[in-house]
Structure 1
Amino acid sequence: MAGDALISRNKFGLYHIPAGVETRPAAKTVLSGGVFEPDTIDFMRANCGDGDIIHAGTFFGDFLPGLSGGLAPDAKIWAFEPNPGSFAAARETITLNSLENVELQNAALSDRGGEVLFQTHRANGSPMGGISHVVEAEGEGVSRVRAVMLDYAVPIERKVSILQLDVEGYEKNALLGAYHIINVWKPILILEYFSEARWISRTFRNLKYKAIGKVHGNHVYAVEPIGI
């Protein structure tokens, strides 16, 4: 226990889980000593090669220790979490595990810089944790958070092997903001519940992305054939 947070452990490391999100699937799994979405983590570890991973929707860092240990020596994880409370928890998870190959930013991914409105709490004040999301209007539990384009947040000279998004319906904006990274490096795309293969084909038409399959609830797209 650290303040109102819980410290838990699984086979990959230690996790700082903020109070109020204990019943969310990722938190519940890790608190029981398990790994959340183990097949997704294993797939990313097996297919990142010598490149970097972009990981958005970091929550309390439930993927970070597992992914960090699977990277090549000079590779990095570029992690993004817009919810300030979840960001603080992920930062503590990084510290608990002494992860030196993770670059974490408190920001939402978008197709333009500036700010977005982000729902972090319900009207009753309870934290939403990993289901926090971008909204269109001010209201109870809504905060303004920094928005960044991946093309500006990740140096273009960094080889990106995997771009994984868990951004609660904001995938198109995030992908458009990574237009140059995607065109240069052709990373594997892992997108939670985003099944619009035709949109990806039209948007990145010269790359010939194809739907490969699913890992947990995540749709996987790649330019080259790959097994799941």
Structure 2
Amino acid sequence: MAGDALIGRNKFGLYHIPEGVETRPASRAVLSGRVFEPDTIDFMRANCGDGDVIHAGTFFGDFLPGLSDGMALNAKIWAFEPNPGSFAAAEQTVALNGLANVELQNAALSDQGGEVLFQTHRTDGSPMGGVSHVVEAAGEGVNRVRSVMLDYAVPIDRKVSILQLDVEGHEKNALLGAYHIINIWKPILILEYFSEARWISRTFRNLRYKAVCKVHGNHVYATGPVET
């Protein structure tokens, strides 16, 4: 225990878990010494090559130590977390592990810059943690958070090998905001519960993305072979 947070640990490192989300699957995993979504992390480590990784829906940073350790020299992880409480925890996870190759931003990904409405707490006041999400209307537990387009948040000359999104239904907006990154670098797309291969092939019609596999609940799309 450190202040109002728990510290979890697994083979990759230490994790700062905010109060109130101890029962979330990622929290339970690291508090019991396990890796959350080990197959997803292994897949990303095996396929990132010499490029950068974009990782959105960072939560408290449950993927960050495992990904950081598998990156090439001078490659970076561009991590995005809109929930202010989760972002603060992810900052602590980065600090606890000394992750020098992580660029962490407190922002939601979208197809335009500005602000979005983001629900971080339930109506009873309990934190939603990793299932916080963009909403259409203001209300209890809803905050305004900064939104960014990946095309402007990540330098276009950075080679991106993997774009991984866990953004709770906001995938289309986030992908449209990365239109130029995707067209230039053709990264592997890892999208949680997003099975719209036809939309991806239509939107990025010249790239010939195909659904290639599933890892945990994530649908993987690529323009060529991947290492499974």
1:137 is matched with which residue?
137
Instruction: Write the letter of the residue equivalent to 1:51.
Output: G
Q: Distance in 2 between matches of 1:226 and 1:161?
A: 11
Which secondary structure does the structure 2 equivalent of 1:22 belong to?
coil
Provide the secondary structure at the position in 2 that maps to 1:199. Answer: helix
Paired residue for 1:128? 128
Give the aligned partner of residue 184 of structure 2: 184
Write out per-residue CA displacement over residues 157-184 of structure 1, whole angstroms, 9 at most, x where no aligned residue.
0000000000000000000000000000
TM-score, normalised on structure 1?
A: 0.99
Q: Is the 8 A contact 2:68 2:102 kept in 1?
A: yes
- 1:18-67 deviations in Å (ceiling 9; x for gaps): 00000000001111000000000000000000000000000000000000
Aligned equivalents of 1:227, 1:21: Cα separation in 2:
33
Instruction: Specify the alignment match of 1:220 in structure 2.
Output: 220
Please report how far the alpha carbon of residue 213 of structure 1 lies from its aligned counterpart in structure 2 after TM superposition.
Answer: 1.0
Q: What is the TM-score when the length of structure 2 is the normalising length?
A: 0.99
Report the Cα distance in structure 2 between the residues aligned to 1:177 and 1:214, rounded to whole angstroms: 24
Deviating 4+ runs (over 4 angstroms): none
Is the Cα–Cα contact under 8 Å of residues 133 and 168 in structure 2 kept in the other structure?
A: yes
Displacement of 1:2:
1.2
The Cα offsets for residues 110-133 of structure 1, whole Å up to 9 and x where unpaired, read as: 000000000000001000000000
2:201 maps to 201
Determine if contact 2:80/2:106 at 8 Å carries over to the other structure.
yes
Q: Which residue of 2 aligns with 1:76?
A: 76
1:19 aligns with 2:13: no
Q: Is the 8 A contact 2:43 2:227 kept in 1?
A: no
Aligned equivalents of 1:226 and 1:111: distance in 2? 28
Deviation of 1:226 after TM superposition, in Å, equals 1.9
Shift of 1:227: 3.8
| Structure 2 unaligned blocks of 5 or more | none
In the aligned structure 2, how far is the partner of 1:167 from the partner of 1:188? Answer: 17
> How far, CA to CA, are the matches of 1:142 and 1:3 in structure 2?
26
For the aligned residue pairs, the C-alpha RMSD in angstroms reads 0.4
Q: How many residues align?
A: 228
Identity across matched positions, percent? 85
Tell me, yes or no, if structure 1 residue 56 matches structure 2 residue 72: no
Aligned equivalents of 1:226, 1:180: Cα separation in 2: 22
Aligned to 1:109: 109
Alpha-carbon distance in 2 for matches of 1:126, 1:28: 17
Q: Name the counterpart of 1:94.
A: 94
Q: Secondary structure at the match of 2:35?
A: coil
Alignment partner of 1:127: what SS?
coil
The letter of the residue matching 1:33 is G
**What letter corresponds to residue 59 of structure 2 in structure 1?**
F
* Distance in 1 of aligned mates of 2:14 and 2:226: 31
